[in-house]
Amino acid sequence: MIINVSEAKAKLSQLIDMVYHGEKVVIAKNNLPIVDLVIHQPTGKRKLGLLDGMVDIPDDLMEENDNINAMFYGNDK
């Protein structure tokens, strides 16, 4: 079913019920399809630490590098 925005505003509860029962609802503006109403699909919980043990961070990561400093600041530093 394709329905214009103004009509969708007035019938939102009815449209939600239609989508819940499996009907496809498309909201259009000036008769051009804009959005589809779909049932919410919950995403799974984020899993922290996926790369634990797979990434090697060097101990001197935060140390300054003279070559890089020269590129940014010139040789005066």
Domain residue extents for the chain: 2-37
- Read off the pLDDT of each residue in 18-42 and give the average, rounded to a whole number: 94
Q: Given the DSSP bridges, would you call strands 32-37 and 25-29 parallel, antiparallel or unpaired? A: antiparallel
- pLDDT > 90 fraction of the chain, expressed in percent and rounded: 56
Nearest to 26 by CA among 8, 51, 53: 8
Residue predicted with more confidence, 43 or 26: 26
**Residue 27, beta-bridge partner list:** 3, 35
Q: How far is CA 34 from the centre of its chain?
A: 19
Banded model confidence at residue 15, pLDDT cuts 50, 70, 90: very high
